[in-house]
Amino acid sequence: MSTKDLLTAELKRYQGSWVSGESLSTGLSVSRSAIWKHVSKLRNQGYIIDSSPNKGYRLEKAPDMLLPEEIQEGLKTLVLGQKDIHHFQETTSTNTTAKELAANGAPEGTLVVAEGQSHGKGRLGREWFSPLGEGVYLSLILRPKLSPADAPKITLLTAVATAEALRSFTGLPIQIKWPNDILVRDKKLAGILTEISMEMDAIDYVIIGLGLNVNVAAFPADLRDTATSLLIETGRVHPRVGLTRAFLEGFESWYGMLQDTGFEPVLERWRQFSAVTGRRIVVETMGDRIEGTALDINRDGLLIVEDDEGHSHRIYSGDVTLKRGPS
Ligand code: BTN
């Protein structure tokens, strides 16, 4: 741990109470002027720290920023986010940054997080609305020992981990729209963009990009009818760091299960969150449009749709629209 991290931990241990500069400097084995320098840096990052010549320092409030030391504090994972977290105030897209890092050899579990994105990427070439400090924008680098054909399973697993984290934090009726849109009351709360690099017939790396609309106060006009946030749904501000931790912990456990036990448990859980099963839907695939009833997802994660002539279709990838009203 760096001196700054140790100082942060120490100030947090005494949060709300004074701790003298002398005891900090002795405890951390650095000079008092070094303590002052690090306190200034922490203030610049958004920590509210009082100082008094007689009493020392007092941490009033830690920021809800996706800072590595904040995420890592009490993070109960073995690998994910434990070592390298790259934090940006703003980046174009955390997925793009993560791809560059992965191409340069970044190990499994490397995390890229940003307070905002200037060119957040959504599925199917869309843009992901990424206002500063209001959402969670993260990308995770994975190097799974799976065949490329199994890669879509990681996306479904990500949706499960996201839905569980959101439901346990808020109690909202979170659902998943195949393959990986996270909805509440049919509006989109979170999205997942998976990007894969393959070498020969093996996976080199997978980037899992997750965007969570946490404290987004308002959406642009074109998204207002289809997107929502935890703030809008609950009327409360939610801790972005806590949600990030919950997602990473849940993800790691499901990811381990996928590699050790297989896809079946993930699938079972996914079905419990399904927003599509039994609903009338329209699926747009490459060059095709199918309207019908979503029956299930099969053991490979493909969507099974029955059209109005009674024909069954297996959908590998596509864009699903839920139809309103009875099926
Ligand atoms: C979707 O269209 O539903 C997928 C949205 C994925 C957005 C996230 S935000 C973090 C990561 N970086 C990106 O540029 N996109 C993903």
Radius of gyration over every alpha carbon of the chain, rounded to an integer in angstroms: 22
Q: Which residue has the tokens 């005494």?
A: 14
The answer, yes or no, to whether any atom of ligand 1 lies below 6 A from the CB of 47, is no
Establish whether residue 123 lines the binding site of ligand 1, counting it when its CB lies within 6 angstroms of any ligand atom. yes
Q: How far is the CA of 33 from the centre of ligand 1 (A)?
A: 42
With a 6 A CB cut-off, is 128 part of the ligand 1 pocket?
yes
Structure tokens at 19: 């701790």
The residue to mutate among 92, 99, 121, having the most atoms of ligand 1 within 8 angstroms of its beta carbon, is 121
Phi and psi of 120, rounded to 5°?
-55, 135
Residue nearest to atom 7 of ligand 1 (CA): 211
199-257 pLDDT, tens per residue? 888 999 999 999 999 999 999 999 999 999 999 999 999 999 999 999 999 999 999 99
Cis status, amide bond into 144, omega within 30 of 0 = no
Q: Ligand 1 within 6 A of 135 CB?
A: no
State in Å, rounded, how far the first CA of the chain is from the last one.
Answer: 57
Phi, psi (5° rounding) for residue 177?
-100, 125
Phi, psi torsion values for 65, nearest 5 degrees: -110, 155
The closest-lying atom of ligand 1 relative to the alpha carbon of residue 93 is 14
Strand order in the sheet with 136-142: 85-91, 111-117, 136-142, 202-212, 187-199, 181-184, 174-177
Q: What is the mean pLDDT of the chain?
A: 93
Q: Is the CB of 212 under 6 A from ligand 1?
A: no
pLDDT tens per residue across span 35-85: 999 999 999 888 899 999 999 999 998 888 999 989 998 899 999 999 899
Q: What digits encode the pLDDT tens for the residues 146-160?
A: 888 888 899 999 999
C-beta atoms surrounding 97 within 10 Å: 19
Query: How much helix, strand and coil, in percent to the nearest 5, is found in the chain?
Result: 35, 30, 35
The residues pairing with 283 across neighbouring beta strands, listed in sequence order, are 290, 320
Is the full-model pTM beyond 0.85?
A: yes
